[in-house]
Amino acid sequence: MTEVVTPNGFTLDDAGQRVVVDPICRIEGHLRIEVNVDDDNIIRNAVSTGNMWRGLEVILKGRDPRDAWAFTERICGVCTGVHALLSCRAVEDALDIDIPANANSIRNLMMLAQFTQDHLVHFYHLHALDWVDVVSALDADPRATSELQQSISSWPKSSPGYFRDVQNKLKRFVESGQLGPFANAYWGSPAYKLPAEANLMAVTHYLEALDFQKEIVKIHTIFGGRNPHPNWLVGGMPCSINVNETGGVGAINMAWLNQVSDIINASITFVDQVYIPDLKAIASFYKDWNYGGGLSSTNVMAYGEFPAIANNYTNESWMMPNGAILNGDLGTVYDVDPRDPEQIQEFVTHSWYSYPNPDEGLHPWAGVTEPKFELGPNALGTKTNIEALDEQAKYSWLKAPRWRGNAMEVGPLARYLVAYARGNEEIKAQVDGLLTDLDLPITALFSTLGRTAARGLECSWSAHKMRGVFDDMMANIKAGDVATANMDKWEPHTWPTDTKGVGIGEAPRGALGHWVHILDTKLENYQAVVPTTWNASPRDPQGNIGAYEAALLGTPMADPSQPLEILRTIHSFDPCLACASHVMSPDGQELAVVKIR
C-alpha cells in the first residue's frame, strides 16, 4: 500500500521513514511501536504490537475455580487485585453466589484505593516525566517556585526553604553521577515547555507522592491481610470484622477502621491539593499540544465499576457507569452486555493465533488461544530479531477485541465520556470545572492531555468515593451486620455440572472482563480480555485500527530519534503488558531503543 483509508476513518500512509520504538526485553511481555513519518516528521502510519503470548486456559484448565483468582493475580504486576476481583466475580456469577454487603463495600474500598494509588503513581512516576524536565528543575529559583505553588494550591509544603532543600537533594543526586529513576531520558528536548520553577514543583511532588504511597497501601493490607498480594475469596472477602473491645486476633477492629478513615482523608487532601493543581499547571503550558485523540472522539467503551448494590452489576448499581459511544454521538449511549455473543468478539486475522475460521470473531466464552507465529512477506529481519513488522499480515500477540465490530478506546477518558454522556452529575461538574479553569472547549478532551486529565479527575473522584463507601459500610456494621463472606455454595457438590460466568469491571487502565466455563467442578475454559488488548489492538479483518495506532496518527515529532511524542501518547493510556522483565542485569540496559530505517 501507500495510502489507504481505514473503515473507521483514518488515513494510513507507509511510504515514509520507519521508526521503531522497542523496549529491550529478553522475554515477552512488551509493547513495540512502529511508525512511518513523512518528510515533515509527522506520523502517517502506526503499528502497535504486543510481543507477549498469553492464554489463561493453558494455566487454568482443570484447576479448581475457587483458586483461579490467585493465578490471575500473577498475570500482571500492577493490576493484581483487579484480576483477582474479576475472577471472583466471574466464578460467583457462574455458581450463582451472592456476596454480603460488607464484602461488596470492602471490595469497592480496595478498588477505589487501587484507582487512587495507581493513577497517582502513573502520573508522577511514569507520565509526568514526559512533560516535566527534571534537569531543568536544577535551574529553578526556589522563591519563585514557592510563589507558583502558593498561587495554585493551599498545600502547606510551599516555602522557599522547602523547595531549596529538595533542589539541593536533587543536585546531590545528580552530581553523584547517577540520575537514578531519571536516567536515560530526553532532558533538554525542545518538546519540554515548562518553566524551571514548574519543573521543580513537579519533581518535588514526585518525591511527596512516593511518601504518600506508603500510606495508601495500608488499606490493602488491612482488608486484604497481605501486601503486596492481598487475599481474595469466592463468596466475599477473607477477613472478619469485630468492632467490640474484645475483638478476635486478626479481625478488623475499630482501631484499624479508624486508620482507614484517616487514610481516606489524607488521600482526598493530597489528590486535591497536589495532583489536581499540578495537572492544571502542567496542562496550561501544553494547551497547543492537542494531539493523540485517536478513537476517543468517536468510539469509547466502559463496562462499569464500583457496584453500589451488592451483586448488582448493572447501571442501576455502578457508580461509574457502563456504556458504549459510537461515531462520537454523545446523545446515544449503548449498554454493553458481556454475555451477548454478538457484542464482544475477538479477531485474530492480524494476531499470531489461528482460528478454525480465520476471519471470524469469537465471543470469549467460545474463545480459543492457538498460537501461530509467522511473519508477513514484507517483514524485515528474522523471527527472533524482527527489524520491521508487516502489518498487512499477522503482527501481534494481542488479539483484536471489537464491540459490535468496532474498535473501541477504553480507560479513564472512555469512562469519563460515557459517564458524561449518561448525565452523571458528579463527573459533569468535574469535567466542566476543569475545562472552564483551563478555558478549553469539550473537544480538548479528545487528546493525549484529555486522557491524562481524565485520569487525574478520576483519581480525585475515587478518593472522594472512598469516603461515602466507608461511611455506608460503618453504618451497616454498626447496625449489626458483620458478615463478610457467604460460604453456602463453597462445596463443589452444590454447583451445577456445566455452567458459565462472567465478571466485568474496570481496571485503572480500562475495561476488564473474565469469562469462565466450569464443567464437572473444574475450569474448562478461562478467557480474560484486558484493557490493553482493546487499546493496543492490532487491525481487524476489515482493517479498522485500534486506539494506540489511531492516537499516534498526525502527531509531529521534533526529532524521530527522540520519540518523546510517541511515549507521551502511549503513556497517556497507562499501558499494561505483563511485566516479566524485571530480571536484574549488571549494567543498566536502555529501556527503549529507537531504530530508524
- Find the binding residues for another protein in span 20-39 (CB under 8 A): 21, 23, 25-31
Q: Is 58 in the site for another protein (CB under 8 A)?
A: yes
Distance CA 54, CA 37 (A): 31
Distance CA 534, CA 539 (A): 11
List 5, 169, 423, 432, residue binding another protein (CB under 8 A): 169
If you search the block for the grid coordinates 459490535, which residue do you land on? 404
Q: Which is nearer to another protein, 64 or 147 (CB)?
A: 64
Q: E-assigned strands of 229-379?
A: 300-302, 305-307, 318-320, 323-325, 344-347
Q: Which is nearer to another protein, 77 or 543 (CB)?
A: 77
Q: Which is nearer to another protein, 126 or 442 (CB)?
A: 126
Retrieve residue 159's grid coordinates: 516555602
Shortest reach from residue 536's CB to another protein, in Å: 10
**Cβ burial 95-120 (10 Å sphere, 16+ → b, else e):** bebebbbbbbbbbbbbbbbbbbbbbb
Distance CA 355, CA 368 (A): 7
Q: Is 385 in the site for another protein (CB under 8 A)?
A: no
508-537 residues in contact with another protein (CB under 8 A) are none
Q: How many residues bind another protein (CB under 8 A)?
A: 88
DSSP 92-115: HHHHT-PPPHHHHHHHHHHHHHHH
- Residues composing the chain: 597
Q: Which is nearer to another protein, 253 or 544 (CB)?
A: 253
Q: Is 214 in the site for another protein (CB under 8 A)?
A: yes
Cα distances from 274 to residues 197, 325, 454, 487, in angstroms, run: 15, 32, 16, 43
Per CB under 8 A, the segment of 102-110, 178-186, 271-279, 473-481 that binds another protein is 178-186
Q: Is 188 in the site for another protein (CB under 8 A)?
A: no
Distance CA 533, CA 49 (A): 10
Query: What single DSSP character describes residue 529?
Result: E
Distance CA 478, CA 289 (A): 52
Shortest reach from residue 300's CB to another protein, in Å: 21
Q: Is 211 in the site for another protein (CB under 8 A)?
A: yes
70-109 residues in contact with another protein (CB under 8 A) are 70-71, 74-78, 80
Distance CA 80, CA 70 (A): 9
Q: Is 491 in the site for another protein (CB under 8 A)?
A: no
412-471 residues in contact with another protein (CB under 8 A) are none
Shortest reach from residue 467's CB to another protein, in Å: 19
Shortest reach from residue 241's CB to another protein, in Å: 13
Q: Which is nearer to another protein, 304 or 538 (CB)?
A: 538
Pairing of strands 380-382, 344-347: unpaired
List 161, 228, 341, 376, residue binding another protein (CB under 8 A): 228
Shortest reach from residue 58's CB to another protein, in Å: 4
Retrieve residue 47's grid coordinates: 503499528
Q: Is 180 in the site for another protein (CB under 8 A)?
A: yes
DSSP 480-502: T----B--TT-SGGGS-SEEEEE
The answer to whether 491 and 236 have CB atoms below 8 angstroms apart is no
List 222, 301, 504, 528, residue binding another protein (CB under 8 A): 222
246-275 residues in contact with another protein (CB under 8 A) are 250, 256, 259
Shortest reach from residue 39's CB to another protein, in Å: 26
**Cβ burial 484-498 (10 Å sphere, 16+ → b, else e):** bbbeebeeeeebeee
Cα distances from 216 to residues 170, 256, 276, 469, 506, in angstroms, run: 25, 13, 18, 16, 20
Shortest reach from residue 169's CB to another protein, in Å: 7
575-594 residues in contact with another protein (CB under 8 A) are 575-588, 590-592
Q: Which is nearer to another protein, 278 or 406 (CB)?
A: 278
Distance CA 543, CA 536 (A): 15
Q: Is 115 in the site for another protein (CB under 8 A)?
A: no
- Mask 557-576, x = binds another protein (CB under 8 A)? ----------x--xx--xxx
Q: Is 371 in the site for another protein (CB under 8 A)?
A: yes
Q: Is 483 in the site for another protein (CB under 8 A)?
A: no
Shortest reach from residue 448's CB to another protein, in Å: 15
Q: Is 547 in the site for another protein (CB under 8 A)?
A: no
Q: Which is nearer to another protein, 233 or 421 (CB)?
A: 233
Per CB under 8 A, the segment of 59-67, 96-104, 305-313, 342-350 that binds another protein is 59-67
Q: Which is nearer to another protein, 61 or 467 (CB)?
A: 61
Q: Which is nearer to another protein, 383 or 441 (CB)?
A: 383
Q: Which is nearer to another protein, 114 or 297 (CB)?
A: 114
Distance CA 85, CA 90 (A): 9
Main-chain dihedrals φ then ψ at residue 251, nearest 5 degrees: -80, 155
Q: Which is nearer to another protein, 198 or 324 (CB)?
A: 198
Sheet holding 498-507, edge to edge: 498-507, 510-519, 522-529
Q: Is 318 in the site for another protein (CB under 8 A)?
A: no
Q: At what angle do helices 196-224 and 254-270 cross, to 10 degrees?
A: 160
**Angle CA(512)–CA(516)–CA(521) in degrees, nearest 5?**
150
Distance CA 594, CA 485 (A): 51
R_g of the chain computed on alpha carbons:
24
Shortest reach from residue 107's CB to another protein, in Å: 17
122-141 residues in contact with another protein (CB under 8 A) are 122, 125-126, 129, 134
Q: Which is nearer to another protein, 172 or 439 (CB)?
A: 172
